[in-house]
Amino acid sequence: MASAAAAAIAEKPASASVAAFVQQSEGAKIVNGTALAKDIRASVASRISTLRAQNPRFHPHLAIVQVGSRPDSTAYIRTKSKACEEAGIKSTHIQLAGNSTTEEVIEVVKKLNADESVSGVLVQLPIGDGDGIGPDNERRVIEALGPEKDVDG
């Protein structure tokens, strides 16, 4: 089952301790986030390879839902998609019109919940262009995500 394998990826610790990426400097701790992220992606890629060797039909797949075309959100999604590629995870960017209704977005989320080929779903916030759909409706969309597929929850 895709969600069980996805959980197996997430449950193991990164290959190196976070402490290896922290330096002390004049009372402040400096974290090398770039190196830490690279290490985590390599660790995830290794775990995915192991899981695929055990189950060749396992192909992790992240669906990213974006409503609208905010440049900052689009750039962030590109970064997430690149990280997925480096870790051996397929990513699909689903872009909906900025004026999509809450019900239309929830319908897409429900279809992704039911899609067995999708291991996880990420809804890019804020939802919509400009003021978006508002915090109450954003919460409705997030609550529509199945907990087994909610990668941010």
Name residue, tokens 């197996």.
8
Is residue 131 annotated as part of the catalytic site, yes or no?
A: no
Rounded-to-integer distance, Cα 53 and Cα 82, Å: 23
Do 61 and 91 contact (CB within 8 A), yes or no?
A: yes
Q: Is the pLDDT of residue 6 over 80?
A: no
User: 3-state secondary structure string, 102-118?
Assistant: HHHHHHHHHHHHHCCCC
Of 82, 110, 111, 152, the active-site residue reads: 152
Q: What percent of the chain is modeled with pLDDT above 70? A: 87
If one compares 119 and 32, the residue with the highest pLDDT of the two is 119
The string of pLDDT tens digits covering residues 78-103 is: 999 999 998 899 999 999 999 899 99
The string of pLDDT tens digits covering residues 119-145 is: 999 999 999 876 668 888 999 999 999
Of 39, 66, 80, 149, the active-site residue reads: 80
Residue 13: asked if its preceding bond is cis (omega within 30°), the reply is: no
Of 38, 124, 136, 149, the active-site residue reads: 124
Whole-Å CA distances, 134 to 102, 120, 137, 138: 10, 24, 6, 6
Tell me the CATH class for 2-144: alpha beta
Domain limits of the chain?
Answer: 2-144
Least confident of 4-18, 27-41, 56-70: 4-18
Separation of CA 104 from chain center: 21
pLDDT in the model for residue 128: 81
Is residue 124 annotated as part of the catalytic site, yes or no?
A: yes
Q: Is the pLDDT of residue 13 over 90?
A: no
Is residue 152 annotated as part of the catalytic site, yes or no?
A: yes
